[in-house]
Amino acid sequence: MKCPYCGKPDSKVINSRDLPEAIRRRRQCLSCHRRFTTYERLDLSTLMVVKRDGRREEFDRRKLFEGIRKACHKRPIAVEQIEDLVSHVESELNGLGVPEVESQRIGEMVMSRLRLLDDIAYVRFASVYRRFQDVDSLMAEVEEFKEWKRRRAEDQAQLALPV
Protein backbone atom coordinates (compact mmCIF):
# COMPACT_ATOMS: atom_id res chain seq x y z
CA MET A 1 0.00 0.00 0.00
CA LYS A 2 1.54 3.31 -1.08
CA CYS A 3 1.59 6.14 1.43
CA PRO A 4 -0.65 8.99 0.22
CA TYR A 5 1.79 11.51 1.72
CA CYS A 6 5.24 10.41 0.59
CA GLY A 7 4.39 7.74 -2.00
CA LYS A 8 6.63 5.06 -0.48
CA PRO A 9 5.20 1.53 -0.74
CA ASP A 10 5.95 0.33 2.80
CA SER A 11 3.37 0.63 5.57
CA LYS A 12 2.25 -1.38 8.53
CA VAL A 13 -1.27 -2.08 9.75
CA ILE A 14 -1.89 -0.54 13.18
CA ASN A 15 -5.55 -1.38 13.58
CA SER A 16 -8.10 -3.39 11.60
CA ARG A 17 -11.86 -3.22 11.97
CA ASP A 18 -14.60 -5.15 10.18
CA LEU A 19 -17.43 -3.05 8.80
CA PRO A 20 -20.61 -4.40 7.16
CA GLU A 21 -19.28 -4.02 3.61
CA ALA A 22 -15.54 -3.53 4.11
CA ILE A 23 -12.49 -3.88 6.29
CA ARG A 24 -11.13 -0.61 7.67
CA ARG A 25 -7.40 -0.55 8.26
CA ARG A 26 -5.37 2.16 10.00
CA ARG A 27 -1.87 2.15 8.58
CA GLN A 28 1.39 3.89 9.34
CA CYS A 29 4.00 4.64 6.70
CA LEU A 30 7.38 3.13 7.58
CA SER A 31 9.18 6.03 5.85
CA CYS A 32 7.45 9.24 6.92
CA HIS A 33 5.57 7.72 9.91
CA ARG A 34 2.27 9.43 8.99
CA ARG A 35 -0.97 7.53 9.49
CA PHE A 36 -3.76 6.95 6.98
CA THR A 37 -6.88 4.82 6.59
CA THR A 38 -7.68 2.29 3.87
CA TYR A 39 -10.86 0.36 3.16
CA GLU A 40 -10.87 -3.09 1.61
CA ARG A 41 -14.07 -4.13 -0.12
CA LEU A 42 -15.11 -7.27 -1.89
CA ASP A 43 -15.31 -6.55 -5.61
CA LEU A 44 -18.64 -8.02 -6.63
CA SER A 45 -19.74 -8.41 -10.23
CA THR A 46 -20.02 -5.10 -11.99
CA LEU A 47 -23.34 -3.36 -11.53
CA MET A 48 -24.42 -1.22 -14.46
CA VAL A 49 -26.36 2.00 -13.96
CA VAL A 50 -28.90 2.94 -16.63
CA LYS A 51 -28.91 6.73 -16.96
CA ARG A 52 -31.96 8.83 -17.89
CA ASP A 53 -30.81 9.14 -21.49
CA GLY A 54 -30.38 5.35 -21.82
CA ARG A 55 -26.60 5.29 -21.48
CA ARG A 56 -25.11 2.61 -19.27
CA GLU A 57 -22.08 3.03 -17.04
CA GLU A 58 -20.51 1.07 -14.24
CA PHE A 59 -21.68 1.85 -10.72
CA ASP A 60 -19.09 4.17 -9.18
CA ARG A 61 -19.13 4.38 -5.40
CA ARG A 62 -16.90 7.48 -5.45
CA LYS A 63 -19.28 9.31 -7.78
CA LEU A 64 -22.20 8.53 -5.45
CA PHE A 65 -20.15 9.66 -2.44
CA GLU A 66 -19.21 12.95 -4.12
CA GLY A 67 -22.81 13.71 -5.07
CA ILE A 68 -23.96 13.18 -1.51
CA ARG A 69 -20.97 15.10 -0.12
CA LYS A 70 -21.89 18.11 -2.25
CA ALA A 71 -25.46 18.00 -0.93
CA CYS A 72 -24.08 17.88 2.63
CA HIS A 73 -21.58 20.73 2.10
CA LYS A 74 -21.38 23.02 5.16
CA ARG A 75 -23.90 20.90 7.04
CA PRO A 76 -23.23 19.24 10.42
CA ILE A 77 -22.75 15.82 8.82
CA ALA A 78 -19.60 13.80 9.41
CA VAL A 79 -17.79 12.11 6.54
CA GLU A 80 -18.40 8.81 8.35
CA GLN A 81 -22.16 9.41 8.11
CA ILE A 82 -21.89 9.98 4.36
CA GLU A 83 -19.70 6.89 4.03
CA ASP A 84 -22.27 4.89 6.00
CA LEU A 85 -25.10 6.15 3.78
CA VAL A 86 -23.17 5.19 0.64
CA SER A 87 -22.39 1.75 2.11
CA HIS A 88 -26.06 1.14 2.88
CA VAL A 89 -27.13 2.13 -0.64
CA GLU A 90 -24.37 0.04 -2.20
CA SER A 91 -25.31 -2.95 -0.04
CA GLU A 92 -28.97 -2.57 -0.95
CA LEU A 93 -28.07 -2.39 -4.65
CA ASN A 94 -25.93 -5.52 -4.42
CA GLY A 95 -28.75 -7.25 -2.56
CA LEU A 96 -31.10 -6.67 -5.48
CA GLY A 97 -29.23 -9.35 -7.42
CA VAL A 98 -29.72 -7.64 -10.78
CA PRO A 99 -27.04 -6.72 -13.31
CA GLU A 100 -28.53 -3.27 -14.03
CA VAL A 101 -30.33 -0.62 -12.02
CA GLU A 102 -31.83 2.68 -13.14
CA SER A 103 -30.20 5.84 -11.82
CA GLN A 104 -33.63 7.01 -10.63
CA ARG A 105 -33.80 4.04 -8.25
CA ILE A 106 -30.40 4.93 -6.79
CA GLY A 107 -31.51 8.54 -6.39
CA GLU A 108 -34.66 7.45 -4.53
CA MET A 109 -32.58 5.23 -2.21
CA VAL A 110 -30.26 8.14 -1.42
CA MET A 111 -33.13 10.56 -0.89
CA SER A 112 -34.94 8.21 1.51
CA ARG A 113 -31.80 8.06 3.67
CA LEU A 114 -30.86 11.76 3.36
CA ARG A 115 -34.40 12.65 4.39
CA LEU A 116 -33.66 11.09 7.78
CA LEU A 117 -30.18 12.59 8.04
CA ASP A 118 -30.55 16.30 7.24
CA ASP A 119 -33.35 18.49 5.85
CA ILE A 120 -31.14 20.85 3.86
CA ALA A 121 -28.97 18.08 2.39
CA TYR A 122 -32.16 16.30 1.34
CA VAL A 123 -33.55 19.38 -0.44
CA ARG A 124 -30.19 20.07 -2.11
CA PHE A 125 -29.91 16.49 -3.38
CA ALA A 126 -33.57 16.48 -4.49
CA SER A 127 -33.10 19.74 -6.39
CA VAL A 128 -30.34 18.19 -8.51
CA TYR A 129 -31.91 14.73 -8.74
CA ARG A 130 -35.41 15.93 -9.64
CA ARG A 131 -34.16 18.74 -11.91
CA PHE A 132 -36.60 21.39 -10.76
CA GLN A 133 -37.46 23.79 -13.55
CA ASP A 134 -38.73 26.63 -11.38
CA VAL A 135 -39.29 27.81 -7.81
CA ASP A 136 -42.84 26.42 -7.75
CA SER A 137 -41.67 22.84 -8.34
CA LEU A 138 -39.01 23.28 -5.64
CA MET A 139 -41.62 24.63 -3.22
CA ALA A 140 -43.92 21.69 -3.99
CA GLU A 141 -41.08 19.31 -3.04
CA VAL A 142 -40.43 21.24 0.18
CA GLU A 143 -44.15 21.16 1.08
CA GLU A 144 -44.28 17.40 0.41
CA PHE A 145 -41.20 16.95 2.59
CA LYS A 146 -42.73 19.00 5.42
CA GLU A 147 -45.87 16.84 5.25
CA TRP A 148 -43.73 13.68 5.40
CA LYS A 149 -41.93 15.05 8.49
CA ARG A 150 -45.25 15.91 10.15
CA ARG A 151 -46.63 12.38 9.54
CA ARG A 152 -43.39 10.82 10.76
CA ALA A 153 -43.49 12.90 13.96
CA GLU A 154 -47.10 11.84 14.56
CA ASP A 155 -46.21 8.18 14.03
CA GLN A 156 -43.28 8.43 16.46
CA ALA A 157 -45.46 10.18 19.03
CA GLN A 158 -48.03 7.39 18.81
CA LEU A 159 -45.33 4.77 19.24
CA ALA A 160 -44.18 6.56 22.39
CA LEU A 161 -47.65 6.49 23.99
CA PRO A 162 -47.97 4.04 26.90
CA VAL A 163 -50.31 1.13 26.29
Which long-range contacts does 145-150 make (Cβ < 8 Å, 24+ apart)? 145/115, 145/119, 148/115, 149/119
pLDDT in tens, 50-98: 999 999 999 999 999 999 999 999 999 999 999 999 999 998 998 898 9
Axis-axis angle for helices 79-96, 61-71 (nearest 10): 140
pLDDT for 48: 95
- The answer to whether residue 161 scores a pLDDT higher than 80 is no
Confidence of residue 105 (pLDDT cuts 50, 70, 90): very high
Determine the pLDDT at residue 50: 97
User: Which tens digits make up the pLDDT trace of 8-41?
Assistant: 999 999 999 988 778 899 999 999 999 999 988 7
The whole-number pLDDT of residue 31 equals 95
pLDDT at 43 over 70: no
Which of these, 42, 40, 41, 31, lies nearest to 4 by C-alpha position?
Answer: 31
Helix (H, G, I), strand (E, B) or coil at 142: helix
